[in-house]
Amino acid sequence: MKYNFNEIEAKWQKIWADRQTFKAKNNSDKPKYYVLDMFPYPSGAGLHVGHPLGYIASDIYARYKRHKGFNVLHPQGYDSFGLPAEQYAIQTGQHPALTTEDNIKTYRRQLDQIGFSFDWSREVRTSDPKYYKWTQWIFSLLFESWYNEDTDRAEDIKDLIAIFQAEGNGKVDAACDDDIEHFTAEEWAAFSSEKQQKILLKYRLTYLAETEVNWVPALGTVLANDEIVNGVSERGGHPVVKKKMTQWSMRISAYAERLLQGLETIDWPDPLKEMQRNWIGKSVGASVSFNVIPTEQSDEESYKIEVFTTRPDTIFGASYMTLAPEHELVEKITTAEQKEAVDAYVEATSKRSERDRMADVKTITGVFTGAYAEHPFTKNPIPVWIGDYVLAGYGTGAVMSVPCGDDRDYAFAKHFGIDIPNIFEGVDISEEAFADKDNAIIANSDFIDGMNYKKATKRIIFELEQMGQGEGKTNYRLRDAVFSRQRYWGEPFPVYYKNGLPQIIDLKYLPLQLPEVEKYLPTETGEPPLGNATVWAWDSKSNEVVDNEKIDNKTVFPLELNTMPGWAGSSQYFNRYMDPHNDDEIFSKEAIDYWEQVDLYIGGSEHATGHLLYARFWQKFMFDKGLVPHDEFAKKLINQGMILGTSAFAYRKEGENTFISKALIENETIQPIHADVSLVNASDELDIEGFKKWRPEFAEAEFICEADGSFKVHREAEKMSKSKYNVVNPDDIIERYGADSLRLYEMFLGPLEQYKPWNTAGITGVHSFLKKLWKLYYDDNGLKVSEDEPTKDNLKTLHKTIKKFEEDIDDFSFNTSVSTFMIAVNEFTAQKCSSKAILEPFLILISPYAPHIAEELWESLGHSTSISEADFPVFDESYLVESTKNYPISFNGKMRFTMELALDLSKEDIEAAVLAHEKTKEQLQGREPKKVIVVPGKIVNIVG
């Protein structure tokens, strides 16, 4: 009988689906294990071979854990809101829901034929109203919460109102907007309801605020900072400009410290943690306030400049101050003489886009305001400048400039001829600043002379606090996250506006479903696409959506026109899988108490500062609300590397329609043109006729070939993408070699975390391994497995494989496992092993990797239940180390043999080793030698 993989795979995929083999129960005597993948966005292009890499790894692990006796939750779903479906809708008028539905069908078909053990009964889709009901609900929960710094957790807004009623806001320590006015209980009571609502909005964890946002005119929407790469939009590469808009924001900054601390408690990759740390950007230092020396313009008011510094110890080296051009004091303190120059400078910088400003870091610009501030200790006047190297958005938008201790201040001072006093002992600052704080000894600084950074900092902060001119302060780079998008295809906010103030729709009336619109573009008046909806008003009496014409602003009000960003739905899906069909609660208490959190999460590192940070934030919030038992949602995370495409480039002479083979290029100016990879063979030769037919503009092209008539292309690894013509489709691979081959090969390609190019040629190796495996069980006469007693060699191979397999999979070294199987099959073949006692447990080892062939052979051996229910074979060391049993050698003792070596040591080797061991011990006068290293045939070394 032959190995007919297509038939076998279709058969078992159907059986698994029919029997619901992988359906997980929310209760069990077994320990639980939750394996999660980052759910896909179902794009129109379908899957390419790079997409399933992480899914294959997690599937192997999930199947392995089932064999190990765990109740495994391994769900899958779709992140189905998103821009491409909307863009397609704008172009074609097709409703995004229809496009999305089609794409999901393609995805499901492709995923199914790879043989994943997903529990599809728990599928979620972020665009499904039954799902986004709960996304909206979490939004409303955030709206009804504030962050209490004293208890360091989110609390109910009702508690805050109670405090305001009892004692005003004087003692409240909250994460809130920074323009809070103080009020007493009496004042609070006297405020109008509107004023009270406005104040509360400044405290809520999600709030409306006029913010400077990243506006992308080409997309008609705003983007969060993590959606912008090098000053252009991540999707599409459109220019980004700053614009002030009223937007919903998430007060993630309240959680900055906990998001940082939490990293210590989770087993995530170090580079990814590092990225999150940098993104949160904690810096410890002090805030210092400098009094502005009154001038004729400002003598009526006294101004203070607040600065943040991480180097309070260098305060005596401050020879000037710098404000960001956008700083509010700029116009107030500028003197008459300098006004013209300052205005011109502010005007010029505001015109420069963010991108220009970033690209042009080297050029030093700035202008003197004419004003002076008073140094808090020396009382000397120091000039106040403005310069665009100071960012309005970080710290206070102002700095005390210490040219001798900071490179940027140094360059600025040098450029404008400002004083550079040296406050470091024994350091030459004539050429550059001395920024090494760990090796600095302070000098010329009054009472901190001779101190190091640590001591001086402490002392300065103490003195500043005494004087009331500063305090120790910690700053975070992490900004609150803008949560509004001017798009159609996203979750609607459960919000309507009464007198311009946001009101939340009660959970009872959710989901608030997306309205139908005629056009998916923004309206002519510049409103978001939902502005096109005609039935989009809220009747607060009947609690339902009604026609816009009924708006009277008494009982019927306009609804929010923005929708939520892509990360809203993906910040809660991992918990929803635990109880996905619950319409009364986001999940039941039993479900969350049973599954707790994700044990293993596999996905790409590109989500480091997006999804993975926001999801941690929501989880911490949910934890504060007592909804989840852990404040981190995923215990362990692995980043799978990307599988790259191997692009092919044909070189064309610049300005001509003549192509020239790679090896023949000398000094022609050439232009590389992407050629479809299917037109190029393994030796990098181009199919010229196919190439001509492929693109009409090349039909008439000339080709300069090698002497043997071949035309060679240049190869390069790039991200797989349609536009680079380097996409390899899994459907073709599966048809030709089978899903089991694809699964094995993707794992065999290299370490999971690594980026690696796809190369179809190598798949024949794993495919012939499967054929050899099949032949161990079947020959031309049918099943050849016998009831024979296993030989010693058989047992040795089996147990060696079990041992190696477990070591590999515990380290997530999926690639070496495949090699382990290959070695085992080669050994069994050489041993002519047919013993059922060996071949049956061996199948269980293979089954996570190649589940279809394993199921088929398992059935052939007479089992009526799925192999996924079989227990993992028990490893028995005695088959491996028997050869050393009769000798006084312990494995973890002073004499060391590795397991592998012990297998192949002869009796003579071991006797020689024991002798050498004893002899050395004698020489050392009874002390145990540290190590005796033995390899077959010789003693390598003895270490005393």
- At a CB cut-off of 8 Å and minimum separation 6, what does 81 contact? 126, 127, 489, 490, 491, 566, 569
Q: Which of 29, 299, 361, 508 binds RNA (CB under 7 A)?
A: 361
> What token pair was written down for 317?
């080296």
> Of 238-246, 601-609, 725-733, 864-872, which part binds RNA (CB under 7 A)?
601-609
Distance separating alpha carbons of residues 443 and 683, to the nearest angstrom: 69
| Closest alpha carbon to 514 in 499, 528, 525 | 528
- Looking at residues 307 to 326 of the shown chain, list those that interact with RNA (rule: CB under 7 A): 308-311, 324
| Closest alpha carbon to 188 in 154, 220, 163 | 163
For RNA, which is the closer residue by CB, 199 or 456?
456
Classify the C-alpha dihedral 770-775-780-783 as positive or negative: negative
For RNA, which is the closer residue by CB, 48 or 408?
408
Q: For the CB of residue 270, give the shortest distance to RNA in the complex, in Å.
A: 6
Q: Which of 7, 331, 337, 360 binds RNA (CB under 7 A)?
A: 360
Distance separating alpha carbons of residues 753 and 270, to the nearest angstrom: 12
> Of 189-197, 355-363, 457-465, 919-927, which part binds RNA (CB under 7 A)?
355-363
For RNA, which is the closer residue by CB, 59 or 909?
909
Q: Is 895 in the site for RNA (CB under 7 A)?
A: no
Full 3-state SS string of 154-201: EEEHHHHHHHHHHHCCCCCCEECCCCCCCCCHHHHHHCCHHHHHHHHH
> What token pair was written down for 641?
């590397």
Q: Which of 294, 472, 672, 765 binds RNA (CB under 7 A)?
A: 765
- Looking at residues 47 to 106 of the shown chain, list those that interact with RNA (rule: CB under 7 A): none
Q: For the CB of residue 592, give the shortest distance to RNA in the complex, in Å.
A: 32
Q: For the CB of residue 212, give the shortest distance to RNA in the complex, in Å.
A: 13
Q: Which of 755, 789, 919, 923 binds RNA (CB under 7 A)?
A: 755
For RNA, which is the closer residue by CB, 97 or 935?
935
Q: For the CB of residue 549, give the shortest distance to RNA in the complex, in Å.
A: 46
> What token pair was written down for 179?
């323009």
In 3-state terms, what secondary structure has residue 857? helix
Q: For the CB of residue 816, give the shortest distance to RNA in the complex, in Å.
A: 5
For RNA, which is the closer residue by CB, 360 or 544?
360
For RNA, which is the closer residue by CB, 470 or 528?
470
b/e sequence 478-491, b meaning 16+ C-beta within 10 Å: bbbbbbbbbbbbbb
- Looking at residues 637 to 656 of the shown chain, list those that interact with RNA (rule: CB under 7 A): none
Distance separating alpha carbons of residues 943 and 580, to the nearest angstrom: 61
Full 3-state SS string of 269-317: CHHHHHHHHHHHCEEEEEEEEEEECCCCCCCCCCCEEEEEECCHHHHHH
Q: For the CB of residue 143, give the shortest distance to RNA in the complex, in Å.
A: 28
> Of 177-185, 290-298, 338-346, 744-752, which part binds RNA (CB under 7 A)?
744-752
Q: Is 724 in the site for RNA (CB under 7 A)?
A: no
Q: For the CB of residue 820, give the shortest distance to RNA in the complex, in Å.
A: 8
Q: For the CB of residue 927, give the shortest distance to RNA in the complex, in Å.
A: 15
For RNA, which is the closer residue by CB, 367 or 537?
367
For RNA, which is the closer residue by CB, 479 or 695?
479
Q: For the CB of residue 341, give the shortest distance to RNA in the complex, in Å.
A: 18
Q: Is 769 in the site for RNA (CB under 7 A)?
A: yes
Distance separating alpha carbons of residues 396 and 403, to the nearest angstrom: 19
- Looking at residues 657 to 716 of the shown chain, list those that interact with RNA (rule: CB under 7 A): 682
Q: For the CB of residue 931, give the shortest distance to RNA in the complex, in Å.
A: 5
Q: For the CB of residue 523, give the shortest distance to RNA in the complex, in Å.
A: 33
For RNA, which is the closer residue by CB, 582 or 815?
815
Q: Total residues contacting RNA (rule CB under 7 A)?
A: 75
Backbone angles phi, psi at 168, to 5 degrees: 75, -165
> What token pair was written down for 917?
């061991």
Burial class (CB in 10 A: 0-12, 13-18, 19+), 76: buried
Full 3-state SS string of 107-156: HHHHHHCCCCCCCHHHCCECCCHHHHHHHHHHHHHHHCEEEECCCCEEEE
Backbone angles phi, psi at 242, to 5 degrees: -85, 140
Contact (Cβ atoms closer than 8 angstroms) between residue 169 and residue 159 = no
For RNA, which is the closer residue by CB, 198 or 896?
896
Distance separating alpha carbons of residues 602 and 468, to the nearest angstrom: 51
Q: Give the containing element (helix H, strand E) for 804.
A: helix 792-810
The interface mask with RNA, positions 465-494, x = CB under 7 A, is ----------x-x-----------------
Q: For the CB of residue 921, give the shortest distance to RNA in the complex, in Å.
A: 16
For RNA, which is the closer residue by CB, 190 or 830?
830
Residue 543 zone, left/alpha/beta (φ > 0; ψ -120 to 50; rest): left
- Looking at residues 385 to 444 of the shown chain, list those that interact with RNA (rule: CB under 7 A): 388-391, 394-395, 397, 399, 402, 406, 408
Q: Which of 11, 108, 357, 653 binds RNA (CB under 7 A)?
A: 357
544-546 vs 537-539, strand pairing mode: antiparallel
Which residues lie across from 786 on neighbouring strands?
835
Q: For the CB of residue 900, give the shortest distance to RNA in the complex, in Å.
A: 7
> Of 75-83, 594-602, 808-816, 846-854, which part binds RNA (CB under 7 A)?
808-816
- Where are the alpha helices (H) located in 546-599, listed in sequence order? 566-569, 573-576, 589-595
> Of 134-142, 214-222, 271-279, 533-541, which part binds RNA (CB under 7 A)?
271-279
> What token pair was written down for 760?
């179809």
Q: Is 768 in the site for RNA (CB under 7 A)?
A: yes
For RNA, which is the closer residue by CB, 77 or 566?
566
Q: Is 358 in the site for RNA (CB under 7 A)?
A: yes
Q: Is 929 in the site for RNA (CB under 7 A)?
A: no
In 3-state terms, what secondary structure has residue 211? strand
Q: Which of 896, 912, 916, 920 binds RNA (CB under 7 A)?
A: 896
Backbone angles phi, psi at 744, to 5 degrees: -60, -45
Q: Which of 289, 497, 751, 887 binds RNA (CB under 7 A)?
A: 751
Distance separating alpha carbons of residues 739 and 745, to the nearest angstrom: 10
For RNA, which is the closer residue by CB, 332 or 719?
719
| Closest alpha carbon to 495 in 512, 481, 515, 479 | 512
Q: Which of 246, 553, 681, 764 binds RNA (CB under 7 A)?
A: 764
- Looking at residues 193 to 252 of the shown chain, list those that interact with RNA (rule: CB under 7 A): 225-226, 229
User: Tokens 């809101």 map to which residue?
Assistant: 81
For RNA, which is the closer residue by CB, 363 or 878?
363
- Looking at residues 812 to 871 of the shown chain, list those that interact with RNA (rule: CB under 7 A): 813, 815-816, 818-819, 822-823, 826, 829-830
Q: For the CB of residue 307, give the shortest distance to RNA in the complex, in Å.
A: 7
The interface mask with RNA, positions 272-291, x = CB under 7 A, is --xx--xx-x-x-x------
Q: For the CB of residue 389, give the shortest distance to RNA in the complex, in Å.
A: 4
Distance separating alpha carbons of residues 871 and 700, to the nearest angstrom: 64
For RNA, which is the closer residue by CB, 272 or 650?
272
* Length of the chain, in residues: 944
Q: Which of 32, 756, 803, 917 binds RNA (CB under 7 A)?
A: 756
For RNA, which is the closer residue by CB, 13 or 834?
834
Q: Which of 173, 194, 347, 904 binds RNA (CB under 7 A)?
A: 904
Is the previous residue joined to 269 through a cis bond, with omega within 30 degrees of 0?
Answer: no
